[in-house]
Amino acid sequence: MDNVGEVQMARVATREALRFMTDCLKAVGAASRAAQQQAELLIEADRVGHPSHGLNRLELYVNDIISGACMPNNEPKVLKETASTAWIDANNVLGATVSHFAMDIAVKKAKESGVGWVSVKGSNHNGMAGYWARKASEKGLIGMAFTNTSPLLAPTRSKKAALGTNPLSVVAPASAGETFYLDMATTAVAVGKIEMQMRKEEKLPNGWAQDPDGKETNDAHLAFKTGCLMPLGGGEQTSGYKGYGLAAMVELFCGILSGSNYGHHIRSWSHSGDGGPANLGHCFVALDPECFAPGFGDRLTDCIHHWRELEPADPSSPVLAPGDKEKKHAELTDAKGTVSYVKQQIESSAALAKRLKVTPMKVEPEI
């Protein structure tokens, strides 16, 4: 085990972590391709430095398959379509299966008609929103992806949660190998970050979460139990109502447009897998910049370079472009060939391996 700050970390070969996650999903009945695609989504989150959406999420999917809340081997189907839109029933498959299906349709429509807007109902958790937007960007398009989630966001002035952490993402191809990559929860942080603080036994920064009385708390365990996150921006004085508005916008594109469960009607978030089908809604958009002014990629690169070259307020913290943190983290992961997990995750993975009779994840020796 290595130490990062006070936290004990263990390294696992990236391929081995992918193998383990795939095996766990296959062990509970997911077909090879579905298991592989879901595991690839998870390992990408660990690779780019969003561990909250990597291995950390595996047990949730496993439990949903075991309980029958998710049916990994169903087929998603198109319910309605036009030249530029499609409405899809995920038919309760894993989030990655339907997200590939839906974004492929959005990309095809954007290539043919300039824009593809796809709305999905009947789905399950689909991880990092940016993973899906990037899929369109890799084809030269501007990609956008949104999803609703279980209620966890307390609208400004509310004691209770009524919207999800509802992430939004926009990924766009720039010139000279640059990419604009914005992928963000509309709460101050994703709930997985509270879990990670709990796993690390660390306090929460201000502005992340509320206690049962609707007051801000720094206690990760209490915050997790209460399940009431603050919107992006925090309290009303710091414009948290804008995060609330963005979460509502994502809900409009996802649950309200697709006819899936929405907002306060979505099952509460838990690891137990006993809440019945999630019936989540997603939205995928692909847009062809070639339909507009020539030089999109060059202008975008000009902005990205300009932002990075701005004089930083603190010389030791250079200004970043959206996506720089993830890119840097991915480069480091790839150079090492390993992903790092906190000790508690290694222990719970070992317990999961035992439960599912899967070969446990092999931890690399300490260096």
Residues contributing to the site for ligand NAD (CB under 6 A)? 50, 53, 125-130, 147, 149, 165, 167, 169, 181-185, 189-190, 193, 320, 322-323, 325-326
Closest approach of ligand NAD to the CB of residue 183, in Å? 4
Q: What are phi and psi of 208, to 5 degrees?
A: -95, -45
Closest approach of ligand NAD to the CB of residue 39, in Å? 16
Closest approach of ligand NAD to the CB of residue 350, in Å? 25
Closest approach of ligand NAD to the CB of residue 128, in Å? 3
Which two three-digit tokens encode residue 113? 């008609």
Compute CA distances 76 → 87, 98, 315, whole Å: 11, 6, 50
Q: Which is nearer to ligand NAD, 129 or 346 (CB)?
A: 129
Closest approach of ligand NAD to the CB of residue 29, in Å? 22
Q: Which is nearer to ligand NAD, 27 or 223 (CB)?
A: 223
Q: Which is nearer to ligand NAD, 131 or 296 (CB)?
A: 131
Place of tokens 């910049």: 289
Q: Which is nearer to ligand NAD, 4 or 291 (CB)?
A: 4
Q: Which is nearer to ligand NAD, 203 or 354 (CB)?
A: 203
Closest approach of ligand NAD to the CB of residue 119, in Å? 16
Closest approach of ligand NAD to the CB of residue 102, in Å? 14
Q: Which is nearer to ligand NAD, 292 or 307 (CB)?
A: 307
Q: Which is nearer to ligand NAD, 184 or 209 (CB)?
A: 184
What b/e readout covers 95-126, taking b as 16+ CB neighbours within 10 angstroms? bbbbbbbbbbbbbebbeeebbbbbbbbbbbbb
How distant is the alpha carbon of residue 304 from its chain centre? 23
Closest approach of ligand NAD to the CB of residue 207, in Å? 12
**298: buried, middle or exposed (CB in 10 Å: 19+, 13-18, 0-12)?**
exposed
Closest approach of ligand NAD to the CB of residue 307, in Å? 8
Q: Which is nearer to ligand NAD, 27 or 51 (CB)?
A: 51
Closest approach of ligand NAD to the CB of residue 365, in Å? 30
Q: Which is nearer to ligand NAD, 56 or 210 (CB)?
A: 56
Helix/strand/coil (H, E, C) string of the chain?
A: CEEECCEEEEEEEHHHHHHHHHHHHHHCCCCHHHHHHHHHHHHHHHHHCCHHHCHHHHHHHHHHHHHCCCCCCCCCEEEEECCCEEEEECCCCCHHHHHHHHHHHHHHHHHHHCEEEEEEEEECCCCCHHHHHHHHHCCCCEEEEEECCCCCECCCCCCCCCECCCCEEEEEECCCCCEEEEEECCECCCHHHHHHHHHCCCCCCCCCEECCCCCEECCHHHHHHHCCECECCCCCCCCHHHHHHHHHHHHHHHHHHHCCCCHHHCCCCCCCCCCCCCCEEEEEEEECHHHCCCCHHHHHHHHHHHHHHCCCCCCCCCCCCCCHHHHHHHHHHHHHCEEEEEHHHHHHHHHHHHHHCCCCCCCCCCC
Q: Which is nearer to ligand NAD, 27 or 70 (CB)?
A: 70
